[in-house]
Structure 1
Amino acid sequence: MKKRLKLHGFNNLTKTLSFNIYDICYAKTPRHRREYIEYIDEAYNASRLTQILTEVSHIIGANILNIAHQDYEPQGASVTMLISEEPLLSEEDLVTREQPGPLPDAVVAHLDKSHITVHTYPESHPDNGISTFRADIDVSTCGRISPLRALNFLIHSFESDILTIDYRVRGFTRDVRGRKHFIDHKINSIQNFMSRDTRDRYQMIDVNVYQENIFHTKMILKEFDLDNYLFGTGVDELTPREEREIRKRLQHEMAEIFYGRNMRRLS
């Protein structure tokens, strides 16, 4: 067993896990697009998001210190939750190992002077029927544990078409000899902390800056079933030509989000 790091005082490393989560759909008519925005605002309003984050904080073993939440006009919502640690784990469990973390029914963590935030951004293209729901989630912790322990829970809680995930360790802590440590656990890739079913479902790309303790993973679903992307209509209501056109629009939208740039549309 690797010798445990003996620190001088509190672990001052700040570890932040950030998600950009995207769900894409096609809403055929202006009425369908309005209904899509209304559906998203109802399903993910500030009250509902507060419930979700409250459950997340309980699952990871945190005390809620303060909650701020807001619904916006014309759409969108935000919740910010300040949390502190609740000592539920043994000393050995506090070590973050590079392996898949627990799934939703078994997530536990140890947090101090930390926060969880979520912001939503539903929007709809005025002409081509593409509608997008984006949720930004941040879990930031100070102390020995990494928020990577909550990774699989968050992925499974927000089943999405596209995810961009960032993990960064900032600051430093000192050992008992006064030597600085800029990271306190091994990590080569965020992917190594994901469950097998997630790795099987998504195509992934890493962009990591190891010397800066910055890790970035982009994910997009491998399989594309058009019926899962239609709001207010079904595949059986489309002509073959409409089906091909809508499929192209959706895949083009997803590719632009995944690669982070505008792309020329192929006819």
Structure 2
Amino acid sequence: MIDRHKKQIRLHGFNNLTKTLSFNIYDICYASQPEHREEYLAYIDEEYNADRLTNILTDVADIIGANILNVARQDYDPQGASVTILVSEEPVLTEEQLNTSARPGPLPADVVTHLDKSHLTVHTYPESHPDNGISTFRADIDVSTCGRISPLKALNYLIHCFDSDIVTLDYRVRGFTRDVKGKKHFIDHNITSIQDFIAPDTKRIYSMIDVNVYQEYIFHTKMLLKQFEIDNYLFGMGKSDYTENELIQIEKRLRKEMSEIFYGRNTGGL
């Protein structure tokens, strides 16, 4: 349980702690025909182009209380996008924004956001299996901050910005800062798991496992969508376009893809 009322540390000079939240977000579908796979990649490329990713990271900067200094973005051929935004802490932050408890924030293409001492990045990777019809979209997101602003405030917003079947999360606090008496502090907030900061509605729809290294302030959480409705994974064709046996085989392929991504290893078979 997080202590919301823990007395804040009075620091000497600037807070030098670096807090980094990293996402790998995956969307998976089945597209039986080559033209459907091409349509899926085109759909993803349009849905998560540099403009939309820029809007997402702009919202993130606002949520964590950062001021945008510069934006760089790029769409790629044949697909993919990147965005970089430089930001600093807001000239005047409210007590709400400065609260290092980093409790869950609001719900809701490649983008990178740079802060003067921090950065926000997003990169997209659409791809498809050449033989078995599986197509997978991956977005990599990094929110790295120094000082009092916390990337954890944007956690729930980012999860809900992407229609994700699988999410892997890494959070790490690096470096140290000093209090007014000169004592080093290697973390300035309470955390036992990234799950401490995930909204209840998200917890209800995902299965989650943790791998944490507490003494090094390294936290890792994997999330897998609980509900599986095959119609949500068919692109270009619907359930009525397949035989019952075909649907069984498609579901096996989809579940195998999800399992391999979630556990990070190949399982063989289909």
TM-score by length of 1: 0.92
Contact 1:98–1:187 (8 Å) recurs in 2: no
Give 3-state SS (helix, strand or coil) of 1:191's partner. Answer: helix
Contact 2:102–2:150 (8 Å) recurs in 1: no
List per-residue Cα deviations over 1:149-172 (Å, max 9, x = no partner): 111111111130000000000110
1:44 to 45, 48, 52: 48
> Aligned runs of 1:192-203 on 2, under 5 Å?
192-203=196-207
Q: 1:61 to 1:3 in 2, by over 3 A?
A: closer
Aligned to 2:173: 169
1:207 Cα offset (Å): 0.4
1:4 Cα offset (Å): 2.4
Name stretches of at least 5 consecutive residues in structure 2 with no aligned partner. Answer: 109-114
Corresponding residue pairs, total: 259
Aligned to 1:159: 163
Aligned to 1:216: 220
Aligned to 1:246: 250
Aligned to 2:68: 64
1:59 Cα offset (Å): 3.6
1:102 to 89, 100, 105: 105
Give 3-state SS (helix, strand or coil) of 2:240's partner. Answer: helix
> Aligned runs of 1:2-17 on 2, under 5 Å?
2-17=6-21
> Aligned runs of 1:120-159 on 2, under 5 Å?
120-159=124-163
Contact 2:65–2:97 (8 Å) recurs in 1: no
List per-residue Cα deviations over 1:198-254 (Å, max 9, x = no partner): 111000010000011000000000110000001101111110011000000000000
The one-letter code of the counterpart of 1:125 is: H
1:264 Cα offset (Å): 2.7
Contact 2:50–2:82 (8 Å) recurs in 1: yes
Give 3-state SS (helix, strand or coil) of 1:11's partner. Answer: coil
Give 3-state SS (helix, strand or coil) of 2:37's partner. Answer: helix
Q: 1:45 to 1:3 in 2, by over 3 A?
A: closer
- Provide the C-alpha distance between the structure 2 equivalents of 1:197 and 1:2, rounded to a whole number of angstroms: 26
1:176 Cα offset (Å): 1.2
Contact 2:118–2:146 (8 Å) recurs in 1: yes
Q: 1:98 to 1:67 in 2, by over 3 A?
A: closer
Aligned to 1:116: 120
Contact 1:227–1:234 (8 Å) recurs in 2: yes
Give 3-state SS (helix, strand or coil) of 2:61's partner. Answer: helix
- Provide the C-alpha distance between the structure 1 equivalents of 2:59 and 2:189, rounded to a whole number of angstroms: 27
Identity %: 71
- Provide the C-alpha distance between the structure 2 equivalents of 1:34 and 1:14, rounded to a whole number of angstroms: 41
Give 3-state SS (helix, strand or coil) of 2:135's partner. Answer: strand
Q: Does 2:235 correspond to 1:231?
A: yes
Contact 1:98–1:192 (8 Å) recurs in 2: no
RMSD of aligned residue pairs (Cα, Å): 1.7
List per-residue Cα deviations over 1:21-64 (Å, max 9, x = no partner): 00000011000011111111111122221122223323433221
1:112 Cα offset (Å): 6.2
- Provide the C-alpha distance between the structure 2 equivalents of 1:48 and 1:30, rounded to a whole number of angstroms: 27
- Provide the C-alpha distance between the structure 2 equivalents of 1:9 and 1:255, rounded to a whole number of angstroms: 47
1:89 to 87, 94, 118: 94
- Provide the C-alpha distance between the structure 1 equivalents of 2:133 and 2:195, rounded to a whole number of angstroms: 33
Contact 1:95–1:185 (8 Å) recurs in 2: no
- Provide the C-alpha distance between the structure 2 equivalents of 1:32 and 1:89, rounded to a whole number of angstroms: 49
